[in-house]
């Protein structure tokens, strides 16, 4: 295992500072503690979705990715794990959080360890992590930790929240250090069903020497194959 692993953080907080970013920072700190215990450096890259709002709107309507959004995609592609945290409004993640993961190539997060978390002003939203966010990441074929984290205003000083953060971070760390995502990409990538153009065109190799490609590029088949 490499002595450096990369952790991407998606924070969909709408203010600076925000409770969403505060929760993300606590989750990162807990994960980093486990990394340091094994002599591993955790390189952290943070994506604030509020900084991508205009580019996300363009991507949703025209599929054009601006430079900030392109950088965010690259961060997610290269990450060994992901912490994704969103505020909750009307029992759903924020619009910018949802938009980011809707415009991504559907292959980008295959096998990627993901820790999901959310913040809200009331416990009525507590099922959003498992009922809403988890389903979306299952569709993207990410590897979501068994423990999700949800925090309301009154939870911040509770030992129960601290315990849940520790448990979720440890699960994320175990998945990251296993190298599962990179092994999937290197060893079994072609066994997945992909759409043409997904994952930046890396979803499958094209055999330009095949009979079909020779015909498509104006070539001809050998006589023994031309009348089959």
Classified as helix, coil or strand, 114 is: strand
Q: What is the pLDDT of residue 2?
A: 60
Fill in the DSSP letter of residue 96.
H
Which residue matches tokens 């060994």?
80
Closest CA to 113 of 85, 144, 74: 144
* Listed residue (89, 85, 78) closest to 199, CA to CA: 78
Please give the pLDDT value at position 82: 98
Q: What is the pLDDT of residue 206?
A: 47
pLDDT at 63: 87
> Which helix (H) or strand (E) element contains residue 116?
strand 113-120
Phi first, then psi, for residue 142 (nearest 5°) are -80, 165
Q: Determine the pLDDT at residue 111.
A: 94
Which pLDDT score, from 0 to 100, does residue 16 have?
A: 83
Beta-bridge partners for 119: 87, 151
Q: Judging by beta carbons within 10 Å of its beta carbon (0-12, 13-18, 19+), is residue 195 exposed, middle or buried?
A: exposed
Question: How confident is the model at residue 84, as a pLDDT?
Answer: 98
Close Cβ partners of 50 (under 8 Å, ≥ 6 residues apart)? 12, 13, 14, 96
Q: In Å, how far are 52, 113, 183, 197 from 64, measured between CA atoms?
A: 13, 27, 31, 14
Give the model's pLDDT for residue 205. Answer: 46
Q: State the pLDDT at residue 32.
A: 98
CB-facing half-sphere around the CA of 111: CA atoms within 13 A: 17
In Å, what is the CA distance from 47 to each residue of 170, 212, 219? 22, 43, 47
Give the 3-state DSSP-derived string for 23-78, with helices as H, strands as E and coil as C.
HHHHHHHHHHHHHHHCCCEEEEEEEEHHHHHHHHHHHHHHCCCCHHHHHHHHHHHH
Residues facing residue 6 across a β-bridge? 43
- List, for the chain, all residue ranges whose pLDDT scores fall below the cut of 50: 196-206
């Amino acid at each position: 295992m490499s002595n450096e692993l990369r952790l991407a953080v998606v924070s969909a907080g709408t203010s600076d500072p925000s409770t969403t970013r505060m929760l993300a920072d606590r989750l990162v700190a807990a994960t980093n503690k486990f990394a340091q215990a094994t002599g591993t450096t955790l390189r952290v890259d943070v994506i604030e979705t509020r900084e991508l709002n205009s580019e996300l709107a363009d991507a949703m309507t025209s599929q054009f990715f601006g430079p900030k959004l392109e950088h965010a995609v690259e961060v997610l592609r290269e990450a060994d794990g992901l912490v994704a945290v969103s505020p909750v409004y009307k029992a759903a993640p924020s619009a910018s959080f949802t938009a980011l993961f809707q415009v991504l190539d559907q292959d980008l997060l295959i096998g990627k360890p993901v820790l999901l978390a959310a913040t809200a002003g009331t416990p009525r939203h507590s099922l959003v992590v498992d009922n809403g966010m988890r389903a979306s990441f299952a569709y993207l074929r990410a590897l979501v930790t068994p423990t999700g984290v949800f925090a309301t205003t009154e939870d911040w000083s509770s030992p129960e929240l601290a315990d849940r953060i520790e448990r979720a971070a440890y699960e994320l760390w175990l998945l990251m250090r296993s190298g599962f995502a990179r092994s999937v990409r290197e060893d079994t990538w072609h066994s997945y069903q992909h759409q043409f153009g997904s994952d930046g065109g890396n979803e499958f190799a094209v055999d330009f020497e095949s009979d079909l490609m020779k015909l498509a590029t104006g070539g001809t088949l050998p006589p023994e194959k031309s009348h089959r």
